[in-house]
Structures are given as C-alpha cells and as structure tokens.
Amino acid sequence: MTPKIQSVRGMNDILPDEAEFWERFEETIRSWLRSYAYRPIRLPIVEPTPLFKRAIGEVTDIVEKEMYSFIDSLNGEPLTLRPEGTAGCVRAVIQHNLIAQQPQRLYYMGQMFRHERPQKGRYRQFYQVGVEALGFPGPDIDAEQILMGARLWDDLGLDGIALQLNTLGQPAERARHRSDLISYFEQHSEMLDDDGRRRLYSNPLRILDSKNPALQELILGAPQLIDQLGAESLAHFEGVQQVLRDAGQPFEINPRLVRGLDYYNLTVFEWVSDRLGAQGTVCAGGRYDGLVQQLGGKPAPACGFAMGVERLIALIREAGGEAGAEPVDVYVVHQGQAASRLAARVAEGLRDQGIDVLFHCGGGSFKSQMKKADASGASFAVIIGDDEANAGEVTLKPLRPTGEQPNEQKRVSVDSVADEIMSSILDWEES
C-alpha cells in the first residue's frame, strides 16, 4: 500500500468551510483598510536572505533560529521564505521609488514562515495582515494606526483586547540605556539563563523581552529606557498619548515592551488578549524611521503594524463567530435532456442578475436532487423537467420561507424567474 503524504507539521490546510470564514474576515479587513485610505501591495514570498539579516538584526531569534533559508541551486543566491512583511515592503518601496512620488499608506496579506515549535496560535506557516505608512514623521500617524486597531476590534465584534504602549527613543538614547543594562546584568550574571548570557553584550535589550519566569524579578529591577529619553523623544511619545486620550482610548504604558525586531524606534505598541493563553499578542507594531536608509534608500520616516490572522480568527470563534458555507440563493434541479440544456441557460441567466446559483450535476431523481437542494441551504429551488422546458417555464419553490411567505411552488416563465426571486428576497428582508 502506497504511504500517504501528509502536510508539513505546522503548515496547515484551510478546508472549505474554514476558508470561507477566512474570506469573510478578509473582506472585513479590506473594507476597514479602505476606510483609512490604505492601498494594497503584493510582495514575493521569497526574498534575499541579507534583506532580513540587515533589517531584523542578526542577533535575534528570528534570524538565528527561525528562518527557512536555502541556497538557490541555479545561481548560489541565499534566499529565505519571508518571516515577516515589513522588510519586503520597504525593499519594494525603495526599489520602485514610491516615497519619492508621495507618502505611502500600504497593506498586504499573506503567508509568513518561521521554523519554530508549533503550538496553539503559533505555526510554521502563518498568515499576517501588515500595515505600513511611509513618509509621515509626526506622532499623528502612530496614533492613527493604533486607533485603527480599536476600530477593527469593534468591526469584528471583539472585546477584551487591551493596548500596551512604550517608546524606544532614538539610537543614541538606546546606546546609553544599553550601557546601563550591561552594567546591571553583569552585576547579576549568575541569575541569567543561557539566552541572557549570550545576549548580554550583543543585544541586552532582548533580555527584557524574555518570557523565562525565573528572570522576571530581575528584569523588573533593570534600568528603564524612558529615563534616558531626550526632549524630542518625550514630546513624540506625549503626542501619541494625547491623541489617544482625546479619542478616549485606554492604554497602559509598559516599559518592558521592546518588540522582537531591531528596526524599531520611538513608538512601539501591542494589542493583547488574555483569551489566547501564553500567546496573547494579536497585533503589534511601531515606528521604524531608520529602516529605509538601512536598506539603501534615502532617509524616510515610517511606522506600521502586523496582525496574526490565526489568532484573530481564534478570538472571533471564542466570541461566538462560526465557520460554515454561505448558502447560495438558488439550487437548480433538472431531469431530462431538454430540461438539462434549459437549466444550464437559466443558471447562467440568474448569475448574470447577481444571483448565486448551485447547478446540480451528476444526475439523479427529482426526489434525490430535492434532498440535496434542501441540504444546500439555498433559499429557492428552480425545478426544470421536460414539461417545463417545453413550455419555456420553470417551477420556483421557496426552501426557506420566513414570516408570512408560504412554502408554495409556482410556475413562472424563464424570462421572469430572476425578478420573482429578487422580489421574494426583498419581501423577506422587509418582513
């Protein structure tokens, strides 16, 4: 017996019922982004490996442990399946000179890849929605992106998602903070775990992001970056907070919020939920003013955020959202050669009028077809036998009567069936 081939662990199939649920979610996302004038950009899944090493930082878990990297067998080029979207988006903006035309509000959706241990809400292939604004220097765009999240949670019917906020200041301020952190952790080096000792001199800020319970008390006593911030960085941070306060948006300042990528500066934020267990972050981002220049472009301010689709879907489910197929409007039942030919034309005519149609295929008796029509969830069955075909008519049968609508079938002409269906739908919506 030939062995079955299974999907790669942590890279999941999304089956039809679930995929339709995802599509409805994506339609909400696109509508929400259009309302803020963000435009779509579609990016390659594979990028040059140096792009991520330069953008994310070589001393990060993503680059050190999690990237799917390989050498192109044709030309020896090092390539990587994208582990996140910002670097590729900035690369595209630089390559196509988009910021020179005007500031850009962009978004993308798609798969990201990280080689890590799969668990609930964390997979090796996972989906993100990424939002990037390039060319805007002030705190107003930071605050807009944060408030966008608040609106989306409302659109999705989600509650219990809290905002955490911090500032990482500018590079010179972080350098002073870095020296303070090294001195502090050197004094307590015996308490550090292996990751902490490895990062002590290469990137001590990462120690603050450790999830090791044994380090939490030590981290709480570490020097805080906000004590090193100058007037400009503080003013920017206050500007973001003022817009949020004016909008009535609650937030918590979390000085330990540092994000896992090297390119951030100034504002960083996370939307978190206690309904997803240990993986509580559903949306995160911040400002990355130095990245455009770092990747070879002219200096330009930028900020953005990303959302994990699987985690948001899990929250929607937890809030009572259900997967399942959206039922079609009409199921076309037919039997007989002339009837089948007419039925195909009727189905296409109904689709021309914007009516969703499931056309029965595979033959079978009227009784068996009607069982399938009823099980499909369709609102109507359009029934065509040779008798109807010879008369140029169809039998229209309501399958989901509501209100005072009777469950009575009637014969109508082929030319009027679309109007009859649309009229019935309007009557139902008004009842």
DSSP for 145-198 reads HHHHHHHHHHHTT---EEEEEEE---HHHHHHHHHHHHHHHHHTGGG--HHHHH
Of the given ranges (107-111, 320-324, 327-331, 417-421), which has the lowest mean pLDDT? 320-324
Give residue 332's pLDDT.
94
Annotation-wise, does 64 bind a ligand? no
Annotation-wise, does 264 bind a ligand? yes
Annotation-wise, does 320 bind a ligand? no
Annotation-wise, does 393 bind a ligand? no
Q: What is the mean pLDDT of residues 280-287?
A: 91
Q: Which residue ranges does the chain devote to CATH 3.40.50.800?
A: 330-423
Q: How big is the chain, counted in residues? A: 431
Give the integer Cα–Cα distance in Å for 165 and 244: 11
Average pLDDT, the chain: 88
Annotation-wise, does 128 bind a ligand? yes
First to last CA, the chain: 58
Give residue 100's pLDDT.
85
pTM metric for this prediction: 0.80
CATH 3.30.1490.20 fits 330-423, yes or no: no
Q: What is the mean pLDDT of residues 201-214?
A: 80
CATH topology of domain 16-169+229-318: BirA Bifunctional Protein; domain 2 (3.30.930)
DSSP 416: G
Annotation-wise, does 310 bind a ligand? no
With 90 as the cut, is the pLDDT of residue 108 above it?
A: yes
Annotation-wise, does 263 bind a ligand? yes
Which residues are within 8 A (CB) of 414 and not within 5 positions of it... i.e. 6 or more apart?
342, 345, 346, 349, 392, 393, 394
Q: Which residue ranges does the chain devote to CATH 3.30.930.10?
A: 16-169+229-318
Q: What is the mean pLDDT of residues 155-167?
A: 91
Give the integer Cα–Cα distance in Å for 330 and 296: 56
With 80 as the cut, is the pLDDT of residue 235 above it?
A: yes
Percent pLDDT > 90 in the chain is 54
